[in-house]
A and B are shown apart, each in its own frame.
Chain A
Amino acid sequence: MGEGNLLRVKNLTLHFRTTRGVLQAVDSVSFAMDRRRSITIIGESGCGKTSLARALLRLLPRNVHSYTGEVYLDGTDVMRMSDEWFRQNVRWTKVSMVSQAAMNALNPVLKVGDQVAEPLRVHRRMSKDEALARAREVFRIVGVPDDFLHRYAFELSGGMRQRAILAMALVTSPQLILLDEPTSALDMLTQANIFNALKDIKNQLEVGFILITHDISTSSDLADEVLVMYAGQLVEHSLSTTGYTKPLHPYAHGLMSSVPTLREDKKLEFIPGQPPSLINPPTGCRFAARCPRRFDRCDQEPPTFTVGAYGEQVKCWLHAKG
């Protein structure tokens, strides 16, 4: 995880104003990822996964309270840049996104092909024909028939729409694609198809993925690294080779134990209790109230410890040195 990172996030914070107080959706999150890697962010609903992805693309709602931190993309701190610079140089040129509700993510009155080609027309100033030719290429990569270019969104099935959006995300050859629960609205077979398409893309193209999901078992196939989020904070960052089988953080452990696996016979566990409210969260470790391995030090907020051979990180006192 050296200086040539594709993405390095330092203390990224996104708080929202609500009627009941400030909601800490993303609280001082730091991580780094190399080129062509794919990392998956897992955690329960409402833990800040989606907010984190949207914060990376500066897609903020109206009630932002604070939005701070550093986000180095290719070595440039994009947080310092103006909105207009950000729009032209980050959105869809370096980072693209496949959003959560893909069923409704296509404009109903524009042809799918035009929408897929649109980023090229905007960011590369391509002619319509050039852009459509490129759209045709990416349609092939994601496995959508050519003639769908000239159709409208309502003429496509859910799986095809999701593929079209994936094609849209690839069309400008970005370095990073944020996938925010790309398959949550689809049936199992279509989900598997999309994930296979993603794996092919990963093997063929120079692109990194950040996959946000609560579907732990499917994500394990694609991911090189795993980030675990809890209550707006990043609690673990490890390689997927160990992260799923030997998680470091007690929360990650509970999360992995709750997932059924195909090849081994295991007793499924669950984590009792509920995540804390993100408005005035508890001081100290936010997981302490539900943690089976809680001890005295948990009253103070743990720092992030770097442990293991690959620089795995964990935010838990159990891993404190000495």
Chain B
Amino acid sequence: MKGNLFALARYTLLRAVMLGFAVVVALYLVVLIVNMGGHLDKVRRGEIRQAVAAAVTMIPENQLLPPSELNQMIERQTELQYRYYGLDQPFIWRSFRYLITALSLSLGRSENLTSDSGSRQVRNIILERLPSTLVLFGTSSLILFFTSLFAALALSRRYGSWADRLVVALAPTSSAPGWFYGIFLILIFAAVLRVLPWGGMVEAPPPKTTLGYALSLVRHMILPVAAMAAGGLLASIYARRTFFLIFSSEDYVDLAKAKGLSSRAIERRYILRPTLPTIITQFMFLIIGMWQGAVILEQVFVWPGIGSLTISAVNLSDTPMILGVNVIYAYLLALSLFILEFVYAIIDPRVRVGAGPQRRL
């Protein structure tokens, strides 16, 4: 027993160290990529020099100075700016600074973006955008996940029925992304029928009462959620149905039927239960995935979420901002992988016994 506990502790620690290492490597790669391997520094230096030169020459008194002195002044100001942004240090050194700021979750200051409340802290900007992303993608992901799960289970039990054939036939419509359907939905329901808003999260000005605010939010969420459903639901039902179909042809499902169990009991104990590890994994990734939002969909629906924040950050080459979004995702991913190891052990006896130092027989 004691040996078992020790083995478990050692295994846990080893997994944590390996996941931590993976996070560090992944984030350093992100640092290198968003800085274009250091090339971005050159671009940024040039931009700063240009901006400083423009600013300095704009001031009327400076225009009277001799060119050499003017150049010196520009040089001095540029150096100050370089130091402010840390550009006076070599890139390799800065890359590790980026990494450490990211890993310590202090996230640092954005270079170009500000929050609505005026903060330049990456953390504040992300926290400001997060609720709107979570409310939209949380709602739609959960609806889509559970709808597709239970629809797929039902269809797999009615293989070959007209409903099943319909889903199989229509599944390819999901190959177009959600935002594509979003454009058409906006055209139909906002432009032609004028029953639903064009985009945004709430009416302007926002309703004063909580109820009014909530209703307005729901009205604004209908189209984006419908767009995501159009772009993903059928394909996901189709994929899961096939998955359940494979698992319902197992011999133990057959025997369960012979045993006279009801359909519901068979579905619950003999199909869902053995496939639970896979379903939980998918669910976990969905939960952390909704954090990132969707870049184009948010643009189409003018949704003030993380997705549109990411795209502005990419456009402005705002390294701290891009890193900030990625580091949180990396941590969530590593954490959920770590948690999943234990969840598997709880729900799947094969993992539980196999993880120990010796299998008992």
Contacts and interface: CB of A to CB of B under 8 A. Distances in A.
Interface string A108-129: 1110000000110011000000
Contacts of A59: 254, 257-258
A99 B258 CA distance: 9
B257 A122 contact: no
B251 A105 contact: yes
A62 interface: yes
Contacts of A108: 252, 274, 349-350
Contact of B250 (A87, A93, A104, A154): A104
A35 interface: no
Interface in B60-118: none
A92 interface: yes
A107 B273 contact: yes
A67 interface: no
Contacts of B254: 59, 99, 105
A123 B260 contact: yes
A101 interface: yes
Contacts of B189: none
Interface in A120-158: 122-123, 152, 154-155, 157
A96 B258 contact: yes
Given A62-B160, A99-B255, A122-B265, A110 B273 contact: yes
A119 B255 CA distance: 11
Contacts of A96: 258-259
Interface string B240-252: 0000000000111
A62 B159 contact: yes
A119 B259 contact: yes
B259 A105 contact: no
A109 B276 CA distance: 10
B361 A107 contact: no
Contacts of A123: 260
B264 to A, nearest CB: 11
B347 interface: yes
Interface string B151-185: 00000000110000000000000000000000000
Nearest to A114: B269
B260 A104 contact: no
In which size bucket is the chain B interface?
20 to 34
B258 A107 contact: no
Nearest to A99: B255
Given A110-B269, A122-B265, A155-B361, A101 B251 contact: yes
Contact of B274 (A88, A92, A107, A168): A107
B159 A88 contact: no
Nearest to A178: B258
Contacts of B262: 87, 122
- Which of A91, A96, A109, A119 is packed against the most chain B CB atoms within 10 Å? A109
A29 interface: no
Contacts of B260: 87-88, 90-93, 119, 122-123
B292 to A, nearest CB: 33
A155 B265 CA distance: 24
B360 interface: yes
A106 interface: yes
Contacts of A239: none
B349 to A, nearest CB: 5
A155 B353 CA distance: 9
A104 B251 contact: yes
A57 interface: yes
B23 to A, nearest CB: 31
A106 to B, nearest CB: 6
A92 B273 contact: no
A94 to B, nearest CB: 10
Given A87-B260, A118-B259, A104 B350 contact: no
Contacts of B128: none
A97 interface: yes
Contacts of B160: 62
Nearest to B257: A59
Contact of B258 (A88, A97, A102, A155): A97
B258 to A, nearest CB: 5
Nearest to B250: A104
Interface string B263-274: 001000110011
Contacts of B265: 122
B350 A99 contact: no
Given A62-B160, A101-B251, A155-B361, A109 B259 contact: no
A107 B254 CA distance: 11
Interface in A23-72: 57, 59, 62
Contact of B349 (A92, A109, A122): A109
Given A110-B269, A118-B259, A122-B259, 8 more contacts: A57-B258, A99-B258, A105-B255, A106-B252, A108-B252, A109-B274, A152-B349, A157-B361
18 contacts: A57-B258, A59-B254, A91-B258, A97-B255, A99-B255, A101-B251, A106-B252, A106-B255, A107-B273, A107-B274, A108-B350, A110-B273, A118-B261, A122-B265, A152-B349, A155-B353, A155-B360, A165-B255
**Closest A-B pairs by Cβ, 9 of them:** A91-B260, A104-B251, A152-B349, A92-B260, A107-B252, A105-B251, A101-B251, A105-B255, A87-B260
